[in-house]
A and B are shown apart, each in its own frame.
Chain A
Amino acid sequence: MSLTHYLVLAAILFTIGAVGVLVRRNAIVVFMCVELMLNSVNLTLVTFARANGTVDGQVMAFFVMVVAAAEVVVGLAIIMSIYRTRRSASVDDANLLKY
């Protein structure tokens, strides 16, 4: 397999994630789709690191993982707080603010 296959796979994963964010209604699932997008970026970075013959891309992937972990902490805290109040994590139910 050439490196292009990995890039195309990463692009497909990124697209699945982006579409998921737009069509899924549960905040947790939306959040998982964002994580999928971040991980597809990791795959892209590692592939380019291999193509360029340097480790920069692999180091960046570690940075992305750390940042994603921090984002999980903050995100789940926010989703939990709204779930406890409303008993629902659907993004459609959160509709007090509009227009």
Chain B
Amino acid sequence: MIEAPALSLAALAPLLCVFGAACVGVLVEAFAPRDVRHPVQVAIALVGTLGGLVTSLLLVGERQVTAGGALAVDGAAVFLQATIAGLGALSLLLFAERSLDPARSAFVAAAAVPAGSPRDRELMTAPRVQTEVYPLATFAIGGMMLFVAANDLLVMFVALEVLSLPLYLISGMARRRRLLSQEAAVKYFLLGAFASAFFLYGLALVYGATGSIRLSAIREASAGEAGGGVLLVLGLALLVVGLMFKASVAPFHAWTPDVYQGAPTPVTAFMAACTKVAAFGAILRLLYVAFGTSEWTWRPLVYGIAIVSMVVGAVLGLTQTDLKRMLAYSSIAHAGFLLTGVLGYGGGADGTGSGLGATMFYLLAYGLTTIGAFAVLTLVRDGDGEATHLSTWAGLGRRSPLTAAVMALFLLALAGIPLTSGFTGKFAVFRAAIDDGAWPLVLVALLASAVAAFFYLRVIVLMYFSEPAADGPTVGVPGLPTTLVLAVTVTATVVLGVVPGAVLDLAEQAAIFVG
């Protein structure tokens, strides 16, 4: 007789909300008539993610291990789940925008129709919209929320796939420039599957070394012998490679610029914000909980990767001429800054360093700003969809002062200028790293920030101090969803920069792992 594991439904409520909404979405897709699907799907996806946000806020202060030990619902899990659900809801609003594109949607009407075929051209101008993206995105959000709460390497692997598989699909569904979008999907899929095979082999080696895949059991086993033996170290390295790939950290970043550029912009916003939060949540849990006692095994590795990531992101970002690609390199540089926070571990038992809270705050601040920046990119359009080439943005400040001002705010926040959320986040992670003695790394980080600030400021200079081109792009009037996203992200960017105290305290209090 097998005993059913103890299951606390209350602690799982955020996950149940989101996955429930995704399943209902699949049923709606199968049974509801085509013309009512769009509003219904948007409503279901938003109710699910906002439900996930509210239920996870109700769980604040919860600390328990549930589902037979497979899930840890603790301060960090709840904070990150709330962050993912909130950012996911904002991305879904961008998905739902219908007034910007003349074809009424950013997604292709029928993804199976070959690009460029007569049927494709016919559908291009048809008012038909595709609604499968909503359940897919909701499943991805659910997978991310599971990812940050996984207390077991197998659950972590399954969650990794649940979040990745829908992302591979929706990044290939752009309505315009379909070849680019399909190419992005193929690259993302092949490299993603490659990286998850590495993660899995790491899982197998750790299982072999410790006889368990429970994070707490790995912690005990690695504390026993000195460092835990070759198998364990090899397993740790492979697990880290798999997770760093998802977090788009250089040198595992090869897919990032291509996929960010090729995917539909709302999907890029979703990936840039939510996947990063989820991947860093898993990295923090793996390193702090499972390998917290063998800190000196992973510390040099993460130290080196952080430097590579910051330098690669900042230097290659300088050479970009496409805004989406530039923001992709910016995301690689920010992944390096986030790793600086991860290194502020403190060495002792859980949560003695200030790195965990600082990293979580940075993730929230960066997610909100980056969704806002991509939302602005969807507004500036020419005849063939979005005008993302840098030269087309010349003189935007004169043509559309409000759009340019909003974009300038986001770019300043990404650069980390004081009084924006980016500054508070950077200050927090750098202080955590210095407290832990990693000041040479912070020095590199400051130099990289200075280099990165150059390419953000270049866009601002271009918008305000160049003559607008005669046949430049037009700035679309956003509908309610995009307006809402911009309002929320602008407010958050300013508030988290001017009065960050309350949220910083919240992140600090949430910085606790059980397991």
Q: How far is the CA of A74 from the CA of B154 in the complex (A)?
A: 21
For residue B200, which residue of chain A has the nearest CB? Answer: A41
- What residues of B have a CB within 8 angstroms of the CB of A67 in the complex? 157-158, 161
* Count of chain A residues near B, Cβ 8 A: 44
Q: How far is the CA of A14 from the CA of B112 in the complex (A)?
A: 33
Q: Does B40 lie at the interface of the complex (its beta carbon under 8 Å from any beta carbon of A)?
A: no
Taking a contact as CB atoms closer than 8 A, the residue among A18, A45, A52, A98 that contacts B211 in the complex is: A52
Q: In angstroms, how far is the closest chain B Cβ from the Cβ of A10?
A: 8
- Which residues of A8-43 have CB atoms within 8 Å of chain B's CB atoms? 14, 17-18, 21, 27, 30-31, 34, 37-38, 40-41
B292-323 interface mask toward A, CB cutoff 8 Å, 1 = contact, 0 = none?
Answer: 00000000000000000000000000010000
B211-222 interface mask toward A, CB cutoff 8 Å, 1 = contact, 0 = none?
Answer: 111000000000
Q: Is the CB of B114 within 8 A of A85?
A: yes
- Which residues of B97-128 have CB atoms within 8 Å of chain A's CB atoms? 111-112, 114-116
For residue A3, which residue of chain B has the nearest CB? Answer: B208
Q: How far is the CA of A30 from the CA of B197 in the complex (A)?
A: 13
Q: Which of B178, B180, B201, B213 has the most CB of A within 10 A?
A: B201
For residue B182, which residue of chain A has the nearest CB? Answer: A82
Q: Does B451 lie at the interface of the complex (its beta carbon under 8 Å from any beta carbon of A)?
A: no
Q: How far is the CA of A3 from the CA of B282 in the complex (A)?
A: 32
Q: Is the CB of A97 within 8 A of B115?
A: no
Q: Does B179 lie at the interface of the complex (its beta carbon under 8 Å from any beta carbon of A)?
A: yes
Q: Which of A44, A57, A78 has the most CB of B within 10 A?
A: A78
Given A21-B194, A64-B200, A71-B193: A85 touches B186 (CB 8 Å cut-off):
no
Q: Does B390 lie at the interface of the complex (its beta carbon under 8 Å from any beta carbon of A)?
A: no
Q: How far is the CA of A63 from the CA of B211 in the complex (A)?
A: 17
Q: Which of B154, B180, B319 has the most CB of A within 10 A?
A: B154
Q: In angstroms, how far is the closest chain B Cβ from the Cβ of A15?
A: 10
- From B17-25, B165-173, B377-385, B409-417, the one touching the partner chain is B165-173
Q: How far is the CA of A47 from the CA of B207 in the complex (A)?
A: 11
Taking a contact as CB atoms closer than 8 A, the residue among A37, A54, A75, A96 that contacts B197 in the complex is: A37
Q: Is the CB of B189 within 8 A of A74?
A: yes
- What residues of A have a CB within 8 angstroms of the CB of B330 in the complex? none
For residue A49, which residue of chain B has the nearest CB? Answer: B207
Taking a contact as CB atoms closer than 8 A, the residue among A18, A38, A74, A97 that contacts B165 in the complex is: A74
Q: Is the CB of A85 within 8 A of B115?
A: yes
Taking a contact as CB atoms closer than 8 A, the residue among A40, A56, A82, A97 that contacts B207 in the complex is: A56
Q: Does A60 lie at the interface of the complex (its beta carbon under 8 Å from any beta carbon of B)?
A: yes
Given A63-B158, A97-B184: A37 touches B179 (CB 8 Å cut-off):
no
Q: How far is the CA of A46 from the CA of B115 in the complex (A)?
A: 44
Q: In angstroms, how far is the closest chain B Cβ from the Cβ of A46?
A: 10
Q: Is the CB of A96 within 8 A of B207?
A: no
Q: Is the CB of A81 within 8 A of B194?
A: no
Measured CB to CB, the residues of B under 8 A from A are: 111-112, 114-116, 154, 157-158, 161, 165, 168-169, 172, 178-180, 182-187, 189-190, 193-194, 197, 200-201, 203-205, 207-208, 211-213, 257-258, 261-262, 319
The 27 sampled A-B contact pairs (Cβ below 8 Å) are: A14-B197, A14-B201, A18-B194, A21-B194, A38-B197, A40-B201, A44-B204, A45-B207, A60-B203, A63-B157, A64-B157, A64-B200, A67-B157, A70-B165, A75-B168, A75-B193, A78-B182, A78-B185, A78-B189, A79-B189, A81-B172, A81-B185, A82-B183, A85-B179, A96-B180, A97-B258, A99-B319
Q: A21-B190, A41-B197, A48-B204 are in contact. List 20 more A-B contacts (CB 8 A).
A: A14-B201, A30-B190, A34-B197, A37-B194, A45-B204, A48-B207, A48-B208, A57-B204, A60-B203, A64-B200, A70-B165, A74-B165, A74-B189, A78-B172, A81-B172, A82-B182, A85-B178, A91-B186, A91-B190, A94-B186
Q: Which 6 A-B pairs have the closest CB atoms?
A: A37-B197, A48-B208, A97-B258, A44-B204, A84-B114, A94-B183
